[in-house]
Amino acid sequence: MWNTHVGKKRNNYEESKREKGSIFSEFFQMFFGERTINSEEKIEKNKAKKVPIKGENIETEIKVSIQDAFYGAEKKITLRALNGKMKNFQVKIPAGIRNGEKIRLIGQGKPGENGGKSGDLLIKIIIENDIKYALQGIDLYTNLYLTPWEAALGTKVNLTSIDEEVSLYIPQGMQSGETLRINGKGYHNGKAGRGDLIVKVQVMVPKELTKEEKELFTKLQKISKYNPRKVQSA
């Protein structure tokens, strides 16, 4: 009888503890909301529910010419997939894309988990300068080569811009290194407008002269009073 009575007391005590714990838990939830689930519990819970996880994005870059970026083009790129095989992508480059902009190919990144969507492929566009044009912001820069007599006397020349031929007046006494600006003949500005075409003059001296040319230059040397070194030191 004694042992049984003690056992009952112990059971009653344990039940009391549990009830108190339950009451405390309810009290805590009443004032503070649901109890915080630690990170391990969250991971286990996510695993159990198999929450869809989107795959990671993949980033790469390709180089394009100024002409391709200006007019738009299609480029084929090849990347190595996760399984080690090479995969081809056809990339459509929109006309007027800016240097450093990215093209997004949806769903071509790493695969998702638990039924999640695949990530995307982001392709950064690098616009390369060429022998004729250099791009700075939305302005295009190019060189214009003149003879000494064209620069001295002034002239009118036809210059091919990126999309058409334009006439350009060269004033008398144009110096090598000076620039001329043609408005609205540069690169796309993204708002249906254009930047400017900056023309840098380069005066070129012939390395070889005919007999008559040499005689004319010799005569000019004798009769001309122009001395650029005096102008520079003045």
Lowest model confidence (mean pLDDT) among 32-36, 67-71, 133-137, 206-210: 32-36
Beta bridge partners of 187: none
**Other CB atoms within 10 Å distance of the CB of residue 178:** 15
Q: What is the pLDDT of residue 139?
A: 97
- Tell me the pTM: 0.72
Compute the average pLDDT of residues 112-129.
94
Beta strand spans in 95-215 (E):
102-105, 121-128, 134-136, 139-146, 155-160, 165-170, 179-182, 197-203
Q: Is the pLDDT of residue 157 over 80?
A: yes
- At residue 194's C-alpha, the angle toward residues 199 and 146, to 5°, is 10
Confidence of residue 81 (pLDDT cuts 50, 70, 90): confident
**Which pLDDT score is estimated for 229?**
84
Q: Which CATH class is domain 134-208?
A: mainly beta
Least confident of 47-51, 98-102, 117-121, 193-197: 47-51
pLDDT at position 120 is 95
Q: Is the pLDDT of residue 231 over 70?
A: no
Question: How far is it, in rounded angstroms, from Cα 229 to Cα 23?
Answer: 101
pLDDT digits (tens, 9 = 90+) for 3-54: 444 444 455 444 444 444 455 455 445 444 454 556 566 666 656 678 999 9
Angle at 16 between CA 11 and CA 22, to 5 degrees: 130
Q: What is the pLDDT of residue 44?
A: 66
Where b means 16+ CB within 10 Å and e means fewer, 44-61 reads eeeeeeeeeeebeebeee
What band does 228 get if pLDDT is binned at 50, 70 and 90? confident
pLDDT-wise least confident of 26-40, 61-75, 188-202: 26-40
The predicted-structure confidence for 171-181, as pLDDT tens digits, reads as follows 999 999 999 99
**Residue 71 gets which letter from DSSP?**
H
List of residues 6+ apart from 163 with CB closer than 8 A: 70, 185
pLDDT at 50: 83
Find the mean pLDDT for residues 221-232: 85
Q: What average pLDDT does the chain have?
A: 85
At 173 the pLDDT is 95
- Distance (Å, whole) CA 35 – CA 32: 8
- The dotted CATH code for 58-128 is 2.60.260.20
In this prediction, residue 16 carries a pLDDT of: 44
| Numbered ranges of CATH 2.60.260.20 in the chain | 58-128, 134-208
Q: Rounded to an integer, what distance in angstroms lies between the CA atom of residue 74 and that of residue 48? A: 45
Pair of tokens at residue 232 = 């520079």
